[in-house]
């Protein structure tokens, strides 16, 4: 081992202790996979925080105790984008109604899963391949998904841009993680909140190991509350493919319609779910009856067509080959 390697190894041990003191439980934060968000260089202890060996930037902990690895200066990306003639060459799969996976890899029966993850979507989470497999919860908030991912066998890594409950503060457009270290990435209702969703997906692709999976959701007809880009299923599919992913499924929850979304998020924010259901029930019945009547005269007026036209959000499952 070279002298500089020995020095780096010594710094790494110290840094582990430092990071452990920040989060209180080192198992929450595997230091060895962290990288500088500006240049992806290795991090070592630097004063009361961390420093990048490559670009000499320093990072410290936030007042909440989270490790603050957000960008400190502008970062330039060079992105090649292929423009294809027409739309037929895109291999985006057809939209389907969200159902539980036919053969779930993880048993979540009896679990009360977080609302935005919900019972049908959670069955599509793959089981960890090894005891040390890492899962990145991108946009983790208060880490509500941590028990779910740990139940699936993963070592949890939670990142959010500003939530006080996040172990790591980071920008999804510059994920401070080494390439090909994650086996699974979860991204629930994140892409609509970033100014460049394609860049977030490219970063998710970068940090995933070959064969790693990405499961997430993005707003479609939900209210635009401080959001940038809402996506149709075709838009989500094209962005995923442009980032390098093979898209396995694009799904829509039949109950999370634009009517429910507008009531709970736009017209009457924070309205209790039971009240929202009661208000929208007559209109939904009329809506369904109208589509049934339309189906008698137009083949295009199908149940899936109705769900697609009124979806509040889109769910996706993709893999890095």
All structural domains of the chain:
3-63 (no CATH), 95-256+308-319 (3.40.50.150), 258-303 (no CATH)
Distant-in-sequence, close-in-space partners of 222: CB < 8 Å, separation ≥ 6 = 192, 230, 258, 261, 262, 265, 266, 312, 313
For residues 219-226, average pLDDT: 92
Q: What pLDDT, on a 0 to 100 scale, did the predictor assign at position 289?
A: 92
Confidence of residue 47 (pLDDT cuts 50, 70, 90): confident
Q: How far is CA 214 from the centre of its chain?
A: 7
For residues 156-172, average pLDDT: 94
Query: Cα separation of 191 and 298, whole Å?
Result: 35
Confidence of residue 9 (pLDDT cuts 50, 70, 90): very low
Lowest-confidence pick of 71-85, 154-168, 169-183: 71-85
Distant-in-sequence, close-in-space partners of 287: CB < 8 Å, separation ≥ 6 = 259, 306, 310
Distant-in-sequence, close-in-space partners of 22: CB < 8 Å, separation ≥ 6 = 29, 61, 65, 66, 67
Query: Cα separation of 318 and 41, whole Å?
Result: 28
Q: What pLDDT, on a 0 to 100 scale, did the predictor assign at position 127?
A: 98
Token pair listed for 211: 């064969």
Q: Is the pLDDT of residue 32 over 70?
A: yes
Neighbours of 124 (CB within 10 A): 21
Angle formed at CA 246 by CA 243 and CA 250, multiple of 5 degrees: 100
Q: What pLDDT, on a 0 to 100 scale, did the predictor assign at position 151?
A: 96
Token pair listed for 155: 């070592």
pLDDT: which is higher, 27 or 207? 207
Q: How far is CA 45 from CA 16, 135, 170, 285, 290, in A?
A: 9, 25, 18, 61, 64
Q: How many helices (H) and strands (E) does the chain have?
A: 8, 12
pTM: 0.88
Comparing CA positions, the residue from 78, 63, 56 lying closest to residue 22 is 63
pLDDT: which is higher, 265 or 251? 251
Distant-in-sequence, close-in-space partners of 161: CB < 8 Å, separation ≥ 6 = 70, 139, 169, 170, 171, 172
CB 258 within 8 A of CB 311: yes
Question: Buried b / exposed e across 239-257, counting CB within 10 Å, b at 16+?
Answer: bbbbbebebebbbbbbebb
């Amino acid at each position: 081992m070279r002298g500089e390697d020995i020095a780096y190894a010594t710094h790494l041990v110290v840094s582990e202790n430092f990071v452990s003191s920040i989060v209180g439980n080192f198992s929450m934060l595997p230091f060895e996979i962290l990288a500088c968000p500006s240049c992806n260089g290795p991090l070592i202890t630097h004063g009361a925080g961390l420093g990048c060996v490559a670009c000499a930037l320093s990072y410290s902990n936030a007042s909440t105790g989270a490790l603050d690895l957000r960008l400190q200066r502008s970062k330039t990306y060079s992105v090649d984008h292929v423009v294809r003639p027409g739309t037929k060459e895109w291999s985006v799969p057809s939209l389907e109604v969200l159902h539980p996976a036919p053969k779930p890899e993880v048993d979540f029966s009896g679990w009360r899963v977080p609302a935005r993850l919900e019972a049908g979507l959670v069955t599509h989470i793959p089981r960890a391949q090894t005891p040390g497999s890492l899962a990145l919860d991108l946009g983790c908030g208060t880490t509500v998904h941590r028990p779910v991912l740990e139940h699936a066998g993963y070592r949890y890594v939670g990142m959010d841009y500003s939530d006080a409950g996040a172990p790591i503060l980071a920008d999804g457009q510059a994920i401070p993680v080494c390439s090909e270290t994650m086996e699974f990435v979860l991204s629930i209702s994140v892409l609509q909140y970033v100014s460049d969703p394609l860049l977030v997906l490219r970063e998710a692709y970068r940090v995933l190991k070959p064969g790693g999976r990405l499961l997430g959701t993005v707003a479609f007809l939900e209210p635009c509350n401080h959001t940038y880009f809402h996506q149709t299923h075709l838009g989500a599919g094209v962005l995923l493919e442009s980032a390098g992913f093979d898209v396995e499924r694009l799904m829509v929850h039949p109950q999370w319609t634009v009517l429910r979304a507008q009531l709970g998020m736009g017209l009457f924010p924070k309205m209790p779910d039971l009240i929202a259901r009661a208000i929208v029930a007559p209109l939904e019945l009329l809506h369904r009856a109208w589509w049934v009547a339309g189906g008698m005269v137009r083949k295009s007026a199908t149940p899936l067509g109705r769900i697609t036209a009124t979806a509040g959000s889109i769910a996706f499952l993709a893999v890095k080959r």
